[in-house]
Every structure is written in C-alpha cells, then in structure tokens.
Chains A and B, each alone.
Chain A
Amino acid sequence: MNTTSCPVCEASVSIPADAMQNELIACADCGSELEIISLSPIQLDLAPDVEEDWGE
C-alpha cells in the first residue's frame, strides 16, 4: 500500500492497492474528502464540494 500526504493537513494518507484514478478517499486525520487525481505519481486534491443537484 502506497502513502502520500494529505493536501489539507499533510498527514500521511494510505492509498489502497486497488485504488483508481478519480476515486474518492478520506484523510483519516482531518477527515477531508480527497480525490485521487493521479496514480503515477500519486497525487491527491480536495474532492469537489457537494453541489445542490448532487444525489441519486
């Protein structure tokens, strides 16, 4: 399992072995919702804010 740092709090974030680009993950330290924007190299960014029309 790879690790990288949270773009919000800089804590270490574990990236699952089966992670996919554009997958959402959470930072265990600060709770921020993050998006994996690149797998090679691993890059995280804050996930987009929830918008009014989001849902099922």
Chain B
Amino acid sequence: MRVAILLTHIRPEEKLLINAFEAHGITPDIILDRDFNFDLLGDATQFSPSGVAWGNYDLVLERCVSTSRGLYALAILNQWGVHTLNSYHTASVCADKIMTTLALACANVPQPRARVAFDEAHTLDAIEELTYPAVLKPATGSWGRLVARVNDRDSAEALLEHRQVLGDYNYHTYYVQEFVQKPSRDIRAFVVGDRTICAIYRTSPHWITNTARGGQATNCPITPELSDLCLAASRAVGGGILAMDVFETPEGGLVINEINHTMEFKNSSAPTGVNIADEVVAYALSTITESSIASLEGALA
C-alpha cells in the first residue's frame, strides 16, 4: 500500500498524521507542493517528485497550507484517476465561501443568510438588506483574515472603498453574511467520513473566535443535533475529512458558518480526548479498500 502526503511544510498536524500512518505500518511519501511540476497533457504514469508514478499511489492525502497549490494538485490527480482525500470536488466547494453557501442551500442545511455583490453600491444594498451589523468576508481565505464586522453605513463605505482601491480582483467579490449574535464562542466540529468524531468550543472575548486568533479550546459534547447538522453539511459539499465551524443562534439553533477542507487540529485532541490524527488515518485507509473495490467493479463492468 503506497500513500503520499502533499504538504507545504510539516506542521504539528502533519507530524501527527505521519506518525499515525507509521503506527499502521505505512511510511507515507512526503511530497512538497513547492516541488510540483505536472505535465498537464500527461497522465498518472508520470513520476511524482518522490520518484513514484502518481498512479502507483493508493491514496494521496492533501495537506497543503497553500490552498491554490492543493486545489490544482487535486484537480490534476483526480482527472488522472488518482484517489485523493479530500476530493477536488469537496475541496473546491469548501475553499470558496460562495460555493459552500450554495451547496448548503441546495441541501437545505441551516446557515446564516448571505449575499454576494460585485460593486460598492450593490454591496451596500446587500449589507443593508441583511441589516447592521453584518460580516464582510473575502470569498476565499482562512484564519479570519480580512473578515470584518460592519457596524454601520460609515464603516461599510470605508471598508468597501479600501477593498475596491487596495485589493486585487479577488477582493472585488463581496460576500456578506448575516452577523449571528452567538455567545462568546463558536463550535469547531470534526467530521471524518460519516462520523462527527469530536468538537470543541472556541471561546474568545473577540467576535472572531478562531484559535488562530486566540480563541480558547474546550470540549464540546457531540449532541445528535450537532452531529446530524455536521453530517448533512459534509454530504452537501461532497464529504471527506472536514472541520465545521458552527454557530449557536439566539433562538437555540445551530447553523453552519464555514467548512474547512484541510483542517488544523493540534489544539483539539487534548480537550476532546480524541486522537484526531488516528481517526483521520483509519478513515483514509478504509477508503483505499472502498476505492479499490470500486475500481475493480468498474474494470469488470
């Protein structure tokens, strides 16, 4: 069984995953995204930077911190029939907040109201249709980067002018989301395959609660409601190994805020008591068997 991990560099999460694979008797090949050099007109017989033909991998686990490199690699490998986690479909939907919102809406998964507009005047209209405060986000991006709470028309006008003048075209797509009056925390739930394996509360006095921005992690019990919501969201975006950002609403409900396809989890195993890396690897290995059976059935059909 041959496994490769695509990565930008080895963070604590990748180290945990490598060790988890080794605990299963598998030493994964480490492939750096800076070393990619794909012949786009070729196929899976071409060699990866590790010296192994891409098609000889039973599984390629994508863990690039660079979203663009990871997405392109998944697109190429999936077109060549290489089994990856996550799939390009899942990753591409999750990497784009507009596509995520559309997928969740299509599946009737609860989420905050959201609008998209493409110039300043119509974005102002969009914000005011959602009412102040609203949240302005780049369509792509992570770690709470450039996420802004828009409290009033003055701040909306200033933010939009800055984005229009200083940002490249990516920032001229204005994704606006309803501000959810959540308690001083949100929920990060981890979905691996068809299970919600654990969750944490991320508590912060700041309205942005990402642990990358200082949110403190504590265990969040998995209720049936939380699990059902997360599994529905996972199915909506194509499934795989995903981290769900969930808000508790003032009405007592739960809504999906965002979905992450290359999740960080180093701060989450300790408070939950769940070995997330081992869960991910066990699931990843189980998909190899499923993938092999599907290929065999396809060949026999």
User: Which residues of A are interface residues toward B (Cβ below 8 A)?
Assistant: 18, 20-24, 35, 47-48, 51-56
Residue contact B65 to A20, C-beta cutoff 8 Å: no
Residue contact B143 to A48, C-beta cutoff 8 Å: no
Rounded to whole Å, the gap between the CB of A19 and the closest CB of chain B is: 9
User: Which residues of B are interface residues toward A (Cβ below 8 A)?
Assistant: 7-11, 15, 18, 30, 32, 34, 65-68, 140-143, 145, 243, 260-264
User: Which of B67, B261, B264 is in CB contact (< 8 Å) with A53?
Assistant: B67
Residue contact A54 to B30, C-beta cutoff 8 Å: no
Chain B residues within an 8 Å CB radius of A22: 7, 9-10, 30, 32
Chain B residues within an 8 Å CB radius of A55: 65, 67, 141-143, 145, 260, 262
Q: What is the chain B residue whose CB lies nearest that of A24?
A: B9
State in angstroms the CA–CA spacing of A51 and B67 once bound together.
Answer: 10
State in angstroms the CA–CA spacing of A30 and B240 once bound together.
Answer: 39
Residue contact A56 to B263, C-beta cutoff 8 Å: yes
Residue contact B9 to A35, C-beta cutoff 8 Å: yes
User: Which 10 residue pairs across A and B have the least CB separation, nearest first?
Assistant: A55-B142, A56-B260, A23-B10, A53-B67, A53-B68, A54-B65, A56-B142, A22-B10, A22-B9, A20-B10
Chain A residues within an 8 Å CB radius of B143: 54-56
Q: What is the chain A residue whose CB lies nearest that of B34?
A: A48
Chain B residues within an 8 Å CB radius of A56: 142-143, 243, 260-264
Rounded to whole Å, the gap between the CB of B215 and the closest CB of chain A is: 14
State in angstroms the CA–CA spacing of A18 and B19 once bound together.
Answer: 10
Q: What is the chain A residue whose CB lies nearest that of B13?
A: A56
State in angstroms the CA–CA spacing of A17 and B10 once bound together.
Answer: 15
Rounded to whole Å, the gap between the CB of A44 and the closest CB of chain B is: 12
Residue contact A23 to B141, C-beta cutoff 8 Å: no
Rounded to whole Å, the gap between the CB of B257 and the closest CB of chain A is: 13
Rounded to whole Å, the gap between the CB of B234 and the closest CB of chain A is: 15
Rounded to whole Å, the gap between the CB of A20 and the closest CB of chain B is: 5
Residue contact B67 to A24, C-beta cutoff 8 Å: no
State in angstroms the CA–CA spacing of A23 and B15 once bound together.
Answer: 8
Residue contact B11 to A24, C-beta cutoff 8 Å: yes
Interface centre among A21, A23, A51, A54 (most CB of B within 10 A): A54
Question: Can you give 19 contacting A-B residue pairs, CB < 8 Å?
Answer: A20-B15, A21-B10, A22-B7, A22-B9, A22-B10, A23-B9, A24-B10, A35-B9, A48-B8, A48-B34, A53-B66, A53-B67, A53-B68, A55-B65, A55-B262, A56-B143, A56-B243, A56-B260, A56-B261
State in angstroms the CA–CA spacing of A18 and B15 once bound together.
Answer: 10
